[in-house]
Amino acid sequence: MAEKTVVQASNFVRNIIQEDLAQGKNQGLVATRFPPEPNGYLHIGHATSICLNFGLAADFSGTCTLRFDDTNPEKESDEYIQSIKRDVEWLGFEWHGEERYASSYFDTLHGFAVELIEKGLAYVCDLSPEQAREYRGSLTEPGKNSPYRERSVADSLDLFARMTAGEFADGAKVLRAKIDMTSPNMNLRDPIIYRIRHIHHHQTGDKWCVYPMYDFCHGLSDAIEGVTHSICTLEFEDHRPLYDWFIANVSAPSTPRQYEFARLELNYTVTSKRKLKQLVDSAAVTGWDDPRMPTISGMRRRGYTPAALRNFCADTPVARSKGITDVSRLESAVRDDLDSKAPRAMCVLDPIKVTITNWSADDVKTLVVPVHPKDETMGTRELTWTREVYIDRADFAMQAPRKWKRLAPQQSARLRGGYVVTCNQVITDADGKVLELLCTYDENTLGKKPEDYKVNGVVHWVSASHNLPVEVRVYDRLFNDENPDGNKERDFTECLNPESLQVISQAYAELGLASGTVGQQYQFEREGYFCIDTDSTADKMVINRTVTLRDSWGK
Ligand code: ATP
Ligand code: MG
């Protein structure tokens, strides 16, 4: 409970909403929105924004819309739209009504632009992009008025209509707001509100060849939707005066307010769609849903759960100050969630054969063990005990270190869920590599301790004759530098971890896995959490390692 209080206290947006409600603002309504640009797949940073916006709406019995801010058709696609909808739903949120598109407001927005021209608050400008840059000034120098700034309302109306009708080439003219070329806030130096782009739009087709700029479109779309609290990340703080200016100067149907919070930054991770796209386009990863990607679709494929992501977001403070979150917090949220939910299974990743010399070759015994050691309701599963089994190479040592709890020559260990075995003989090749262990089992040790000797070790195992061969993909962090973006001299791709993917083409899982379907999660005992990958075929099951059992990075 103590933790919950901390989370709430640090959520300044929640406090603002509470005050607004106390003062009776917005007729007591709370309306938020999640407004992605459909120019890539969503990542873990977006998950925090989704949880915040949908979470606040739910907590205050309000609404949250999903709105695609689709003002840049050349970078957008339906594939991205579909992936975003899938990801928001998978996270467990339901948007209010149908999904929205800023592009469906283009008529209204165009009308607002005309309204600004009529009020003498916008003008068509013919400066080239280079000239406009010169006129704009810099952080230390004021800008200069464009020579087209005093163009008559009638001329601007006429030119804007002709821009809209397709009479001019891309970039030939723009519509600009008439605010203040000397403002210390560069965003207010007569920003562009409409530009010419003769390009097909995924929603509006060829209807438009002028498109609104993001700042103009975004705030006014909020106003059209009746958003009360428009939450965005800190880089938009300096845009807020412009956000307010547009709403104040057109006949906007409502007056939303913008609040900014610090974007989520995770160490060992990049969270920028542009950079993630670069990884996809350069084939550094297999796609947006590569299980190493910090995208929601990558994390889903890897076996992360919606609850784990929601818990991680809930425990990440919503703050105005920037900070870097430790990615191991995300990983431990995944472990915490899977521990109680994932059925247990055994899988040997790096096998050595063990022959149980006092067990007959034609004797195949079924052992019944719990699916989950702490949850009886999950039932039981069957293991097959045979003369030949596999254990993991790491569970045997020629020379056992002190306190060794696994197998070694003349030492005993329990094969989990089965009998205690003692290693009597080790067969090696000419280089000393262990090929096989010859062991005996103790028939009085099934489900009970041996009477006259002590056994500390328990190792996992799988029958060598009755198993399911699987491919296992073991992932490590995609970047091996804590701050892949942190060095200006170096491209972030130079920090890619060359060992982020290890493919074990043949591992051996207990037979029960054969009935598992794509997405099924398991805890492979003593190994970690795993899930069945979408690349699985009828011939070969492919399994992803979701996360190790403990935080072992760098250890
Ligand atoms: P990127 O820089 O990755 O392209 P973006 O901000 O351009 O991100 P949008 O599609 O515009 O991506 O984002 C949709 C919403 O998600 C916005 O409200 C944005 O503020 C929020 N968001 C994006 N990245 C993060 C992040 N790292 N942490 C928190 N919120 C984020
Ligand atoms: Mg953006």
- Mean of pLDDT over the chain: 95
Residue 10 · residue 222 · CB < 8 Å: no
- Tell me: pLDDT of 9 over 60: no
233-250 pLDDT per residue, tens: 999 999 999 999 999 999
Mean pLDDT for 484-501 is 94
Report how far residue 103's alpha carbon sits from residue 232's, in angstroms, rounded to the nearest whole number: 20
Both tokens assigned to 486: 């942190």
* pLDDT range class, residue 3, cuts 50, 70, 90: very low
Residue 456 has a pLDDT of 83
What pLDDT shows up at residue 210? 98
Other C-beta atoms closer than 10 Å to the C-beta of 302 total: 23
* C-alpha–C-alpha distance, residues 507 and 468, integer Å: 8
CA of 68 to the centre of ligand 1 (A): 12
Q: Please, where are the H alpha helices in 31-105?
A: 44-59, 78-91
- Roughly what angle, to the nearest 10 degrees, separates helices 153-165 and 106-118? 160
Taking CA atoms only, the protein residue closest to ligand 1 atom 25 is 45
Q: Given this model, what pLDDT does residue 10 score?
A: 53
Please give the average per-residue pLDDT across 314-320, as a whole number: 90
Q: Write out pLDDT tens, residues 387-444.
A: 999 999 999 999 999 999 999 999 999 999 999 999 999 999 999 999 999 999 999 9
- Which candidate in 37, 225, 260, 525 is catalytic? 37
260 forms bridges with which residues in the sheet? 232
pLDDT tens, 12-39?
Answer: 999 999 999 999 999 999 999 999 999 9
Instruction: Indicate the DSSP class of residue 234.
Output: G
Distance 473 CA to ligand 2 centre (A): 33
Rounded Cα distance between 546 and 555, Å, is 18
Ligand 1 centroid to Cα of residue 131, in Å, is 31
Centroid of ligand 2 to alpha carbon of 78 (angstroms): 17
Task: Point out which residues pair with 353 in neighbouring strands.
Answer: 390, 436
Residue 7: per-residue pLDDT? 40
Residue 125 has pLDDT above 60, yes or no: yes
Q: Which ligand is nearest to the CA of 47?
A: 1
Active-site residue 275, yes or no? no
The answer on pLDDT for 554 being more than 90 is no
pLDDT (average), residues 263-286:
97
* 484 sits in which H/E element: none
Residue for token digits 């596999």?
Answer: 390
Does 485 or 295 have the greater pLDDT score? 295
Structure tokens at 546: 């979701």
Predicted local distance difference test score (pLDDT) of residue 553: 64
The answer on pLDDT for 5 being more than 70 is: no
Please state, in angstroms and rounded to a whole number, the distance separating the CA atoms of residues 271 and 213.
23
CB of 233 closer than 6 angstroms to any ligand 1 atom: yes
Residue 85 token pair: 């909808």
* Residue 8 confidence class, pLDDT cut points 50, 70, 90: very low
For residue 87, the number of C-alpha atoms closer than 13 Å in the C-beta half-sphere is 34
SS (H, E, C) 2-37: HHHHHHHHHCHHHHHHHHHHHCCHHHHCCEEEECCC
Which DSSP symbol is given to 369? E
Q: What is the mean pLDDT of residues 350-371?
A: 98
Confidence of residue 486 (pLDDT cuts 50, 70, 90): confident
Told to judge if 402 belongs to the known catalytic residues of this protein, a careful annotator would answer no
Residue with CA nearest ligand 1 atom 13: 36
Asked about 335 being catalytic, the answer comes back as no
Give the active site residue among 273, 300, 406, 477: 273
User: For position 129, what pLDDT does the model report?
Assistant: 96
| Segment 271-290 mean pLDDT | 97
